[in-house]
Structure 1
Amino acid sequence: MKVACITTVRNDRIFLRKWIDYYGSNFGRAALFVIIDGLDETIPQGFDGVNFLHLRHRDWAAEVSNVPLRRVVMEHNRSRAISDLARTLWRYDYDAVIATDVDEFLVADPARHASLDAFLQAHQVRTATLSGLGLDVVQDLKSEPAIDPGQPFLAQRRVAVVSNAYTKPVLAFKPITWGAGLHRVKRRNFHISPDLFVFHFGMIDYETAMGRANDPNLIAAGWGPHMQRRESLFRMVEAATPVEGAPLFDGFRKRLTWRRRLLAWNKPAPLPGPPVVIIPDRLRAVL
C-alpha cells in the first residue's frame, strides 16, 4: 500500500520536526507533503526529500488590506487545500492518505502492530476512512516541567484527555472532502479503528499553547474563545485524578461511535467529563 501524509504549517515552533521524523520513519520523506500556510512564512531548511508547497494564507485583497483571517475561514481553507491535494495524490497511484494538523500523530497500537506502516500494509480496506481514538496530551502543571522538544514527547507526559474532537477521520482510502479542521468527512460516516490512536500535542506545553493568548491579531481573528478553552483544559487536568486508560479504551471507542449530535451526525459528540487517563507505557514508547 502506497501512503501519503499531508499537513499544513503556520507559526510552528516545535512540531514540524517531530511530524517529519515520525511519518518519515514510517513511509519515507518522499511521501510527506507539507503545505506552508502563508507567503510570510519561510520554507524550513534541513528536511531534504520532503515535498513543501508554499501557499498564500489570505486572498489578495486581504493581504493588501492586512485584514486578519478569521479562524473559521482559515480552517475551511486548510481543509479544502488538503482535500484537493489528496485527490491529486490518489490520481498518482497513492492508495491511502493521512491528513493531520502538524501537532497530530496517528499511532497504531504497538501491542498489535510493529508500526503504523505495518498496520496499513496488513489492513483490508472496507471503509472510506478510519479514525483513531483521540488522546489530547496535556501538561500536568502541578508535576510536569516544560517540554524538551529534543526528547521523546510522551516520555515527558503521562496523562491525556479522551477527546471526541481529536477522534478524527485522518486516514482515508479514497477521494473525500474533509470538513473544517479535518474533524469530519462531508456526507460520510466515520469508523473508529480498534487499532489506532490520534495523539494531539497542541496542549503538551503550557507556554507553547498559551504564549500568544493575548496577541491582538489572534483575538481579532476569533481565537479568543479557543484560547479560553485551552486554559480551562489545563486547569481541569491539574485538578483531576487520572485513571488507567488501557482498560477503558475499547469502551470509549464504542461510546464515541454512538454519541452524536443531531446536526453533526458524522462526528463524535463529547464524552461526559471528559475522562482524564494515564497513557499506557506501550504507547508512551512510540513518540
Structure 2
Amino acid sequence: MGDTRVAVVTICRDDEVLLRRFVDYYGGLFGRRAIYIISHGDTDMVRDVAAGCSIVPVPEFETDRFTMLHWRTKNHLKDALRQWYHHVIVVDVDEFVVIDPATGLDLRQWLETARQRTVYTAFGFEIVHRRSEEPDGIADGILGPRRHAQVALWYAKPCILSRGVKLSRGGHFADHPKLDMPDELYLFHMKYCDWSLFVDTANRRNAFIAEQQRAGSGTVRTNPQWFADKRRDEETFAAFEARPVREDFDLAPIREAMRASWRERSHGLYHFDRIEVPELFKLPERFSGADVV
C-alpha cells in the first residue's frame, strides 16, 4: 500500500482509543508509513499504538500559542508532503473521511481516480451517542454501533488537498476560491461518539490544562469545552436523546444552501453559511462498518 501516493496528517497527544481507530482505518487504506502523526509530547503511547507510522515529535506544552503552532505545523507539513504525494488528507485524530458505501468504493479507491490540483471539502457530520438506544462499545468500529449524526458544517472541512493552499486554524477554511464538494464525500467527527470516551477525554484535558495554567503566563487557549468550568456532560448527551431523528437522509437542501452562500470570508479565506439543523439524521445501514478496513 506504500504506492498509493496519499498521505494523512494529524496530531495526537493522549487520545489512545481514537488513535487506534485512526491508525487502523487510514493505515489500512494507505499503509502506515503514509500516516504522519505530529506527536505532541512524543509519548510512548503514540509510538506504540502508531508503530510503523511516520512520527513527527514536538514538545509537550499548551500555551496561548498552541493552536497557532499546531496549525502552522500542519500547514508546513502538508505543503512538504504535497511535493511527494498526489493527495494529502489533513484531519484531527477524531475525524474520519469516508466515501458513501453506495458508490461501491472506499476512500483509497475513490482517490485513485479523483481529480488533482483541487481542494475537496467533505460534508460534515458529528456522530453522537444516544445512550438509551446504543449500548454497544466502539472498540471494533464506531459506525454501526453509532448510527446517529448531527449536521455540523463547522466540520465540512477542506480536508483533501492536491494543490498549494493555506488552511486556517482548525482547518475549517482555506484560501481556495472554489467549493469542490462531491456528494459522496463525508467527514465524521467523533468527539461525541461515546459517553465514556468523552468523559475520559474531558477529564484528561481538564487535568492537562490545569497543569499548564500553573506554568508560564497561565494563559491557555484551546477548545472552551476542555476547561473544567465549561463542562456540561450530562446536559450535552441528554440533548442528543431529546432531539427528533430523521431517517430520509435527504441532504440536498443543505448542500444547496452551502453552495449558494459560498464566499470569501476574510484574509483570502472562503466559507459558506453554517446553518443549524435541529434534527439528527440516522445514517443508512450501508454506513455501518465504513470506518473499518
State TM-score, norm by structure 1. 0.84
199, 203, 207: which one aligns with 2:192 = 203
Please list, as runs of the form range in 1=range in 2, the aligned pairs for 1:43-62 lying within 5 A after superposition: 43-45=46-48, 47-58=50-61
Amino acid at match of 2:124: G
- 1:53 Cα deviation after fit: 0.9
Q: Distance between the aligned counterparts of 1:182 and 1:245, measured in 2?
A: 30
**1:99 matched to which residue of 2?**
90
Secondary structure at 1:142 match in 2: coil
- 1:188 Cα deviation after fit: 4.0
Q: Distance between the aligned counterparts of 2:175 and 2:232, measured in 1?
A: 27
Cα 1:172–1:25 shift into 2, 3 Å: same
Q: Distance between the aligned counterparts of 1:262 and 1:123, measured in 2?
A: 25
Q: Distance between the aligned counterparts of 1:141 and 1:74, measured in 2?
A: 34
Q: Say whether the 8 Å CA contact 2:119–2:176 is kept in structure 1.
A: no
**1:278 matched to which residue of 2?**
282
**1:62 matched to which residue of 2?**
none
Q: Distance between the aligned counterparts of 1:245 and 1:116, measured in 2?
A: 24
Amino acid at match of 1:184: F
Query: Identity percentage over the alignment?
Result: 24
Q: Distance between the aligned counterparts of 1:230 and 1:131, measured in 2?
A: 31
Secondary structure at 1:154 match in 2: coil
151, 156, 177: which one aligns with 2:145 = 156
Cα 1:39–1:48 shift into 2, 3 Å: closer
Please list, as runs of the form range in 1=range in 2, the aligned pairs for 1:127-166 lying within 5 A after superposition: 128-145=118-135, 147-149=137-139, 151-166=140-155
Amino acid at match of 1:88: A
Q: Distance between the aligned counterparts of 2:133 and 2:263, measured in 1?
A: 36
**1:83 matched to which residue of 2?**
75
Secondary structure at 2:158 match in 1: coil
- 1:260 Cα deviation after fit: 5.9
Secondary structure at 2:186 match in 1: strand
Please list, as runs of the form range in 1=range in 2, the aligned pairs for 1:1-287 lying within 5 A after superposition: 2-39=5-42, 42-45=45-48, 47-58=50-61, 68-70=62-64, 73-91=65-83, 93-125=84-116, 128-145=118-135, 147-149=137-139, 151-186=140-175, 188-211=177-200, 212=202, 215=206, 217-218=208-209, 221-222=220-221, 225-226=224-225, 228=230, 231=233, 233-246=236-249, 248-259=250-261, 263=265, 266-287=270-291
- 1:80 Cα deviation after fit: 1.2
- 1:146 Cα deviation after fit: 6.4
Cα 1:223–1:230 shift into 2, 3 Å: farther
Q: Distance between the aligned counterparts of 2:75 and 2:36, measured in 1?
A: 12
Secondary structure at 1:111 match in 2: helix
- 1:148 Cα deviation after fit: 3.4
Cα 1:273–1:124 shift into 2, 3 Å: closer
Amino acid at match of 1:38: G
Amino acid at match of 1:193: P
Secondary structure at 1:235 match in 2: helix
Q: CA RMSD in A?
A: 2.6
Q: Distance between the aligned counterparts of 2:152 and 2:49, measured in 1?
A: 34
**Count of matched residue positions in the alignment of Structure 1 and Structure 2:** 272
Amino acid at match of 1:144: E
Gaps in structure 1 of 5+ consecutive residues? 59-67
Amino acid at match of 2:287: L
Cα 1:243–1:50 shift into 2, 3 Å: same
